[in-house]
Amino acid sequence: MKPWIEEALEARTLFFDAKHRPVALPAPLAPVVDTHGHLSMLAHEGASWAEMREAAAIALARAWLAGVVWTVCIVDASDDGRDPGAFLEWLSETEAEAHAEIEAALAAGLRPAFPDEALRVSLSAGVHPYHASGIEDALPALRELLSSPRCVALGECGLDYHADVDREVQREAFELQLALARELGLPLELHVRDAVGDASYEAHAEALEIVRSADVAAQGIDLHCYTLGPEPLEGWIELGCKVAFGGALTFKRSEAIRDAAAACPAEALLTETDCPYMAPEPLRGRPSEPALTLATANLLADVRAEVLGEARRDAFGSAWANARALFDRA
């Protein structure tokens, strides 16, 4: 029996904290989507592609059993997606191995939250602001990734004023990718991060203006990893964007993010991990993975129930419906 399956059966949970203590999480009230996860980063640093495939396959199997039935894998055309054919083959092999892990888990007696929902693994390809200076060299690979039937969006792309990357270069790379998304009719996964201590939210303001000028909002936008309060959110909501909340929503000092989650319209809610980063409470301190989207989804439902009196089931249902509306290209 696979070690992870044996552990899950013994502990009666799929979740373990940073000290490898079992953690019980409430069951999902609708299928859950990790709208932004880096599957190629789940193995140890320096891992081979085979090791990366095994780590991602087990993570996808755990996620599906927990009720996180769909993961949108982020790939950077200037980094892990430099060789598009190799990456796409790796992702297909990873999905096949995940199915084998699921079959082993079911045979051992583990039971999924939503047995009638198929495992879905999609991708979103872009060039991160960190790599904006290499956008021209990355364009052929990016176009090939975006042409894959598995691709559901372009990104992550955007502005990161926390990074030591020339801002004009970032803006040019962002505008180029918005034009490409418009050409191909793809929704967008946006990465927007302000400089440390910037109370004016300059990156968010400039990104919003660039998006407005590019006339891409109708294609659908996921404002990935939202970590601010309600005020900077207003313009994005007016534009019709969806907003993805991740592990930071659950952190003890994240009152402003929770205020934003309560203020966000139901039709804009999304869930994500940005794994392997920012694992949510009560699992903080360990690497994140798609299954941990469930912890964020539960906290999102709790916040909206407490502040708005909204049924917990409604928050789960809204996030599920919104992800399908944005990313289902069938």
Domain count of the chain? 1
Q: Is 287 helix (H, G, I), strand (E, B) or coil?
A: coil
CB 30 within 8 A of CB 315: no
pLDDT in tens, 40-49: 999 999 999 9
Domain assignment present for residue 11? The answer is: no
* Helices 84-108, 3-11: inter-axial angle, 10-degree rounding: 40
Using CA atoms, how far apart are residues 203 and 261, in angstroms rounded to an integer?
20
pLDDT of residue 216: 97
Using CA atoms, how far apart are residues 141 and 49, in angstroms rounded to an integer?
19
Residue 109 structure tokens: 């007696």
Using CA atoms, how far apart are residues 92 and 152, in angstroms rounded to an integer?
15
pLDDT of residue 157: 98
Domain assignment present for residue 320? The answer is: yes
Domain assignment present for residue 10? The answer is: no
Mean pLDDT for the chain overall: 97
Main-chain dihedrals φ then ψ at residue 130, nearest 5 degrees = -55, -30
The arithmetic mean of pLDDT across residues 171-183, rounded, is 98
Residue 33 CB contacts under 8 Å (≥ 6 apart), including other chains: 68, 69, 70, 71, 72, 270, 271, 293, 319, 320, 323, 324, 327
Residue 185 structure tokens: 């009719």
Domain assignment present for residue 180? The answer is: yes
Angle (CA) 36 260 199, round 5°: 95
Distances from the Cα of 142 to the Cαs of 84, 131, 172, 227, 284, in angstroms? 8, 13, 16, 28, 33
Residue 63 structure tokens: 């996620």
* pLDDT of 298 over the 90 cut: yes
CATH classification of the domain holding 137: 3.20.20.140
Q: Domain residues for 227?
A: 31-327
pLDDT in tens, 218-276: 999 999 999 999 999 999 999 999 999 999 999 999 999 999 999 999 999 999 999 99
Distances from the Cα of 303 to the Cαs of 218, 283, 291, in angstroms? 29, 18, 20
Burial of 172 (0-12, 13-18, 19+ CB in 10 A): middle
The arithmetic mean of pLDDT across residues 132-139, rounded, is 98
Domain assignment present for residue 256? The answer is: yes
The arithmetic mean of pLDDT across residues 7-34, rounded, is 98
Using CA atoms, how far apart are residues 131 and 133, in angstroms rounded to an integer?
6
pLDDT confidence tier of residue 329, bands split at 50, 70 and 90: confident
* pLDDT of 293 over the 80 cut: yes
pLDDT of residue 330: 62
* pLDDT of 183 over the 80 cut: yes
Distances from the Cα of 62 to the Cαs of 21, 65, 218, 294, in angstroms? 16, 5, 34, 11
Domain assignment present for residue 227? The answer is: yes
Residue 235 CB contacts under 8 Å (≥ 6 apart), including other chains: 205, 208
Q: Is 35 helix (H, G, I), strand (E, B) or coil?
A: strand
CB 234 within 8 A of CB 265: no
Q: What is the DSSP letter of 50?
A: H
Domain assignment present for residue 156? The answer is: yes
Burial of 106 (0-12, 13-18, 19+ CB in 10 A): middle
Using CA atoms, how far apart are residues 293 and 312, in angstroms rounded to an integer?
15
Domain assignment present for residue 24? The answer is: no
